[in-house]
Amino acid sequence: MNEERDRVYIQHILECIDRIKDYTRNGKNSFMNESIVQDAVLRRLQTMAESTQRLSEDLKSKVSNVDWRALSGFRNILVHDYLSGIDRDRVWDAIINYLPSLEQAIRQINDELDRD
CB 49 within 8 A of CB 78: yes
What structural domains does the chain harbor? 3-115 (1.20.120)
Could you report the per-residue pLDDT of 16-60, keeping only the tens digit for each?
A: 999 999 999 999 999 999 999 999 999 999 899 999 989 999 999
Q: Tell me which residue of 50, 57, 48 sits closest to 12, measured CA to CA.
A: 48
Active site residues: 75, 80
| Whole-prediction pTM | 0.89
Q: What angle do CA 73, 108, 96 make, to 5 degrees?
A: 50
Element (H, E) at 83: none
Average pLDDT, the chain: 88
